[in-house]
C-alpha cells in the first residue's frame, strides 16, 4: 500500500486508497486517506459510510457525528436547491421528483449510519471496473498481458 503515489499519473484517488485500507482493517490509515479527500470528493453514502465506520473503529465518535451532520446538511441544501429549479424540456417534473427522492434517500442513509454501524453493520465496498482504462489480468495492453486463450 505504501507504493501508492499521489503524484503518479495513474493515481486512483485518496478515497480508493482509503477504501483499500478499510478492507485491510487498517482504520487509522483509512481515516488519514479519507481526511485527505474530504474537501475535494463529492460526498456519496457508499464511501462516506466507510469513512464513518473507520472513524468509529478508531474511537473517533465525535468526528463521525461531525461527518454525518455535514453530509445531512449538504443533502438538505441540495434538496432545497433542487426544489427551486424550474422544469423545462431538458429537466422534467418526473426527473426532478426522482432526483429529489434520491437526495432524500441519501439524507436518510446518512441519518442512520452511526446507529447501523453501532448495531454491527459493516458498510460494503462498492467496486466496479473501468472498461476502458483499468488493468486486467488478461488482455491488458498497458502492461502487455496476453489475452486469455483457455
Q: Find the Cα–Cα–Cα–Cα dihedral 100, 14, 29, 136, rounded to 10°.
A: 100
Q: With a threshold of 0.85, does the pTM exceed it?
A: no
Longest Cα separation, the chain: 57
pLDDT at 126: 84
pLDDT at 6: 62
For residues 60 and 31, the answer to whether their CB atoms sit within 8 Å is yes
Sign for the CA dihedral angle at 83, 88, 93, 95 comes to negative
Whether the predicted pLDDT of 106 surpasses 80: yes
Name the pLDDT band for 13 (thresholds 50, 70, 90). Answer: confident
Whether the predicted pLDDT of 108 surpasses 60: yes
Radius of gyration of the chain (CA): 19
pLDDT at 43: 95
What are the tens digits of pLDDT across the range 48-104? Answer: 999 999 999 999 999 999 999 999 999 999 999 999 999 999 999 999 999 999 999
115 or 146, higher pLDDT? 115
User: Which parts of the chain fold into alpha helices (H)?
Assistant: 14-23, 27-37, 45-57, 61-84, 93-118
Amino acid at each position: 500500500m505504501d507504493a501508492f503515489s499521489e503524484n503518479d499519473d495513474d493515481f486512483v484517488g485518496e478515497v480508493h486508497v482509503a477504501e483499500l485500507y478499510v478492507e485491510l482493517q487498517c482504520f487509522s490509515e483509512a481515516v488519514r486517506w479519507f481526511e485527505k479527500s474530504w474537501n475535494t470528493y463529492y460526498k456519496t453514502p457508499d464511501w462516506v459510510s466507510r469513512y464513518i465506520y473507520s472513524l468509529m473503529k478508531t474511537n473517533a465518535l465525535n468526528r463521525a457525528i461531525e461527518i454525518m451532520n455535514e453530509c445531512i446538511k449538504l443533502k438538505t441544501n441540495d434538496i432545497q436547491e433542487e426544489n427551486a429549479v424550474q422544469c423545462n424540456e431538458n429537466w422534467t417534473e418526473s426527473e426532478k421528483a426522482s432526483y429529489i427522492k434520491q437526495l432524500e434517500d441519501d439524507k436518510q442513509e446518512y441519518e442512520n449510519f452511526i446507529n447501523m454501524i453501532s448495531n454491527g453493520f459493516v458498510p460494503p465496498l462498492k467496486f466496479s471496473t473501468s472498461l476502458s482504462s483499468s488493468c486486467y489480468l488478461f488482455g491488458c495492453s498497458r502492461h502487455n498481458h496476453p489475452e486469455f486463450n483457455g
